[in-house]
Structure 1
Amino acid sequence: MDSSNAGQLERTPSEKADVKSDSSLRLPTPPARSAFKSVLLVLTMTLGMIVNTSGSTSITIALPTIGKEFHLQENELQWLVSAYPLSSGCLLLVFGRVADLYGRKKVFLCGSLFLAVFTLACSFQHDVISLDIIRGIQGIGSAALVPASLGILADAFPPSRARSLAFATFSAGAPLGGVVGTIVGGILTQYTAHVLFLAKTWRAPFYLLTGLTVLCFVGGLMSIDPDVPSCEPDKRIDWLGALSVTAGLVLIVFVLSQGELAPKKWATPYIIALLILGVLLLILFVLWQQYLEKVQNDPNAVHSVLTPPPLIQPSLWKRGEGKLAAMMIIGFVNWASFLAWIVWVQLYYQNYLQLSVIQSVVRFLPMVVSGLLCNTFVGIMAARVPVICLTAIGTGATAGACLLFALINPHASYWAFAFPASVISVMGADFVFSTGTLFIAKVVRSYEQSVAGALFLTMNQLGTALGVATTTVVFNRVDLHRHGRDGIVSYKAAQWACFSFGVLGTLLSLLFFRGVGAAGVREPIDKPETPNANEERSMTYSNQDIKSEK
């Protein structure tokens, strides 16, 4: 390979060893499928992502309506948003590991059915506590469905332009689900009680999401290739690690959300105790994973029933010379910025400006067009545009949307602040998610696709929970001390917190991805490559490297 190629990242000896070990554990090539079945597969996986994201955003547009029905304040609505991504985010790693070991199709189908059942159950709740609980259980189905989708796509499409298009389409489901959940959820929330007489207004979006989830199940039955048994010799799951990381994350997010509501706020004894316990559990998880990986890699170590393979190998964070870890953190802070922005803009429109649900929905319509254009661009240009351009521009655009609302003049025209913010806000979600999934699929081993994708999704989901929790703390603090000033200062303060997350993502992009080429891969134009060449290609980062390999 020509060493003069720009953007080339030399692989370390451990990464070269990864390629060899990858080939020994690589699954058999799936059978050829028709173009129709390939399209149906991509659409089914994309619909699963739309359902996953809509599960978070469709309820945000209905928060004021739910608050009025249950007589709740803004700070009491947070768990309706956070419970779903929290349970989903905490269990993605477990289900990613299960999917890699026991079959991605099985996990996808079971997750679809579970999600459909509990999405429907949400619509029958009559108090906010039971709704919070069911929302948390609902997220378990999403945790099974989404990482399996990533592994299915990675297996079905080898590195090529087809893979770039497939992942870009799938990734479009995240922001598109956010926008569609907002718009369709808003329309149903506004009109179903008056037109269809189904139920109280906020319940109707759950009926729609139930139907879409059932479609995912049917599409999966028709389009997903039969599962191929895993070639890994040890198929045990690290349940101790799964328990520690799940409990730790739940406790920390609980503390962030309840610290302002506790009797003595952050000085409340149980808040302090739960925070310490949560941090200790996460430290224990990291140390335990390091120990398990060391045991698994040492041929002279004594293996026992207590030493299964780690839930996620700590060395996974070092893939791509550590840039995989940087991509994970960028996804975390970007999603914290984007979803928190959506939540506070909804509340600003409906609670501060006193707009109807439909008037609020109309103001989000530019996000639909912008999101579709962004993902079309990524699908076409993923093999040509460097990673740094997509991630830095995306996170910077989302930060810009937050900044516009942090500086907004409530008396100004919609076109002055809100319209440009709606156009650029979705760019971060589109560019970062699409580029991130492509980059991760490119630098990890074939048998790690689901768990690596699950880790990226975990960071995004936890970013959502942390972003909403943190901005709620900021909103409450400012609102408590505004002393008769206009309530707009509280909403602006929350948006400044959202802005800080977006700026951090931009800085990380500029710092870690300089000189890295494109995440996508050009369509081969010559003879099919040998398996070894395919393995080498999957570990290559730049377009120039790909050309030189040809």
Structure 2
Amino acid sequence: MSNCLSSLQSVTTSSSLISLPVVGADLGIREDQLQWILSAYALSSGCLLIPFGRLADLYGRRMIFIVGCVLQGAFALGCGFANDLVTIGVLRGFQGLGAAATIPASLGILAHAFPPGNARSLAFATFSAGQPLGGGVGFALGGLLTEFAPATWRSMFFVVAGLSVLCIAGALLLVERDRPSTEQDKRVDWLGAILVTAGLTLVVFVLSDGEVAPRQWSTPYIIALLVVGVVLTTAFFVWQWYLERPSVRETYSRWTPPPLMKISLWSRGNGRFAAMQCIVFFLMCAFQSWLLWTVLYYETYQNYTPVLSMIRMLPMIPAGILCNIFIGLLVGKIPGVVLIAIGCLCTGIAGLLFALINPAASYWAFGFPAAVLTVVGADFVFAGGSLFVAKLALPHEQSLAGGLFQTMAQLGIAFGCCY
């Protein structure tokens, strides 16, 4: 139950998305800066999933899950009282720390509780069902509260804080305490954590701010930050490669802890692990771009109210739930590569429908099929990819592998917000 409630906290993203025009008008935020309300959350959660995944594997997934829920709820409450872009952007970034903790911990809890087989497939499908369900609920509540609640868009952040309390209660009552980690060396590669977090943060910041900087991409600080970000990210991979070398692992040193992310993990399954990471990155980039521009199209071009925009996104809820029921029942009978290929095709078609949309045409001609297809695509790839990654990871790597998968997904979302 706590894992499903954790997925339901995705309402914070979808509710923030549908209320963006209202937030911009209320706080005086320019349209080209509104994406920071979304990307700040995706950026912090995506860049910190790997360190939190490692901590969950070492010190207990249940404990890290609860810590993440506390962070999620506390900073969501703070967002409800924000009065300018800087404040809400910073608080959204800290709120992303909660997602960075709860997501890999949840995946680790599921992978540990269910051995490979139909039961695990159904468990992961149930977890994935919380994503579209939470997104759909976020669209519905976000639209209704933004238009009718006295506190408008702020009300949704208060709802997320309440959901976080439910998650904490569910974890305390229903999730068993973790057994001690079987790893002999329980040190954490803090240098690697700093390198990957700083590097990815700078790269995504540059991609988000490059077009709106004073001199756009030729602005000196944009160029400098991009170079530093690439150097730090490259240094992270080199450092991980060094820590994984047999000669280093055979000789104990206080300066060489176990790698935060084994480079060899990317070669698992004859390189299919790495291919899956690339697929989920680009798919979530396309999915988030579709969501962002669809809402802006409805509310700024068609001049629909948040409620009318929300109604046009509602088909995503039943489509997402039916998809995950289908995956849970038939994933053992259908090759995962087929599910993933169908998912990518559906998301691509959804994007084409809005690229070629006729504004004068009926909603049922373009908007409805796009809303159904985009969530089918994301769910097929997300659920199938999660199962695939869990299958390739070792027992003590489940949260880390799940965190890496989610990192690529969250970075895809951040990149999607940029464009």
TM-score class, shorter-chain normalisation, is over 0.9
8 Å CA contact 2:242, 2:248 repeated in 1: no
Which of the numbers 253, 277, 285 marks the counterpart of 1:336? 285
Say if 2:341 is the partner of 1:392.
yes
Following TM superposition, by how much is the alpha carbon of 1:163 offset from its aligned partner in structure 2, in angstroms?
Answer: 1.1
The 2-side partners of 1:445 and 1:436 are apart by: 16
Q: Name the structure 2 match of 1:261.
A: 212
The 2-side partners of 1:393 and 1:243 are apart by: 37
Letter in 2 for 1:229: P
Following TM superposition, by how much is the alpha carbon of 1:417 offset from its aligned partner in structure 2, in angstroms?
Answer: 0.8
Structure 1 residues 138, 296: closer, same or farther in 2, change over 3 A? farther
Note the alpha carbon deviations across 1:41-90, whole angstroms, 9 max, x for none. xx220110220x22222101010001111222221101101000100011
Q: Name the structure 2 match of 1:188.
A: 145
8 Å CA contact 1:295, 1:307 repeated in 2: no
Say if 2:112 is the partner of 1:161.
no
Q: Secondary structure at the match of 2:153?
A: helix
The 2-side partners of 1:90 and 1:298 are apart by: 26
Q: Secondary structure at the match of 2:315?
A: helix
Which of the numbers 11, 25, 30 marks the counterpart of 1:73? 30
The equivalences for 1:262-301 within 5 A come to: 262-295=213-246, 298-299=249-250
The 2-side partners of 1:248 and 1:260 are apart by: 20
8 Å CA contact 2:354, 2:366 repeated in 1: yes
8 Å CA contact 2:248, 2:256 repeated in 1: no
Q: Name the structure 2 match of 1:466.
A: 415
Following TM superposition, by how much is the alpha carbon of 1:298 offset from its aligned partner in structure 2, in angstroms?
Answer: 4.6
Q: Name the structure 1 match of 2:2.
A: 44
Q: Structure 2: which 5+ runs fail to align?
A: none
Which of the numbers 186, 195, 219 marks the counterpart of 2:170? 219
8 Å CA contact 2:71, 2:94 repeated in 1: no
Letter in 1 for 2:106: S
The 2-side partners of 1:54 and 1:309 are apart by: 36
Which of the numbers 349, 352, 361 marks the counterpart of 2:298? 349
The 2-side partners of 1:297 and 1:266 are apart by: 41
The 1-side partners of 2:40 and 2:135 are apart by: 17
Q: Secondary structure at the match of 1:408?
A: coil
The 2-side partners of 1:177 and 1:334 are apart by: 19
The 2-side partners of 1:372 and 1:278 are apart by: 39
Q: Name the structure 1 match of 2:267.
A: 318
Say if 2:414 is the partner of 1:457.
no
The equivalences for 1:53-64 within 5 A come to: 53-64=10-21
The 2-side partners of 1:240 and 1:368 are apart by: 41
Say if 2:185 is the partner of 1:234.
yes
Structure 1 residues 282, 258: closer, same or farther in 2, change over 3 A? same
Letter in 2 for 1:422: A
Mean Cα displacement is larger for which, 320-329 or 306-315? 320-329
> Under a length normalisation based on structure 1, what TM-score does the superposition of the two structures give?
0.75
Which of the numbers 78, 103, 107 marks the counterpart of 1:121? 78
The equivalences for 1:360-371 within 5 A come to: 360-371=309-320
Following TM superposition, by how much is the alpha carbon of 1:296 offset from its aligned partner in structure 2, in angstroms?
Answer: 6.7
8 Å CA contact 1:83, 1:136 repeated in 2: yes
The 1-side partners of 2:87 and 2:302 are apart by: 30
Structure 1 residues 374, 281: closer, same or farther in 2, change over 3 A? same
Following TM superposition, by how much is the alpha carbon of 1:303 offset from its aligned partner in structure 2, in angstroms?
Answer: 2.7
Q: Secondary structure at the match of 1:363?
A: helix
The 2-side partners of 1:372 and 1:455 are apart by: 25
Which of these two proteins has the greater Rg computed from alpha carbons?
A: 1
Letter in 2 for 1:63: L
Say if 2:134 is the partner of 1:177.
yes
Letter in 1 for 2:153: W
Q: Name the structure 2 match of 1:98.
A: 55
Letter in 2 for 1:225: E
Letter in 2 for 1:347: L
Following TM superposition, by how much is the alpha carbon of 1:344 offset from its aligned partner in structure 2, in angstroms?
Answer: 0.6
8 Å CA contact 2:243, 2:249 repeated in 1: no
Letter in 2 for 1:44: S
The 2-side partners of 1:423 and 1:366 are apart by: 6
8 Å CA contact 1:98, 1:107 repeated in 2: yes
The 2-side partners of 1:378 and 1:296 are apart by: 44
Q: Secondary structure at the match of 2:116?
A: coil
> Under a length normalisation based on structure 2, what TM-score does the superposition of the two structures give?
0.98
Which of the numbers 320, 327, 333 marks the counterpart of 1:378? 327
Q: Secondary structure at the match of 1:234?
A: coil
Q: Structure 1: which 5+ runs fail to align?
A: 1-42, 194-198, 472-550
Q: Name the structure 2 match of 1:141.
A: 98
Q: Name the structure 1 match of 2:392.
A: 443
Following TM superposition, by how much is the alpha carbon of 1:173 offset from its aligned partner in structure 2, in angstroms?
Answer: 1.6
Q: Name the structure 1 match of 2:201.
A: 250
Letter in 2 for 1:213: S
Q: Name the structure 2 match of 1:476.
A: none
Q: Secondary structure at the match of 2:164?
A: helix
Q: Name the structure 1 match of 2:65.
A: 108
Q: Secondary structure at the match of 1:304?
A: coil
Note the alpha carbon deviations across 1:442-486, whole angstroms, 9 max, x for none. 1110110000000000000000001111x2xxxxxxxxxxxxxxx
The 1-side partners of 2:228 and 2:136 are apart by: 37
Following TM superposition, by how much is the alpha carbon of 1:297 offset from its aligned partner in structure 2, in angstroms?
Answer: 6.3
Following TM superposition, by how much is the alpha carbon of 1:247 offset from its aligned partner in structure 2, in angstroms?
Answer: 0.5
Could you say what the CA RMSD is over the residues aligned between the two structures, in angstroms? 1.1
Q: Name the structure 1 match of 2:255.
A: 306
8 Å CA contact 1:174, 1:429 repeated in 2: no
Q: Name the structure 1 match of 2:158.
A: 207
Note the alpha carbon deviations across 1:488-523, whole angstroms, 9 max, x for none. xxxxxxxxxxxxxxxxxxxxxxxxxxxxxxxxxxxx
Q: Name the structure 2 match of 1:19.
A: none
The 2-side partners of 1:98 and 1:253 are apart by: 24
Say if 2:371 is the partner of 1:413.
no
The 2-side partners of 1:246 and 1:92 are apart by: 9
The 2-side partners of 1:234 and 1:396 are apart by: 44
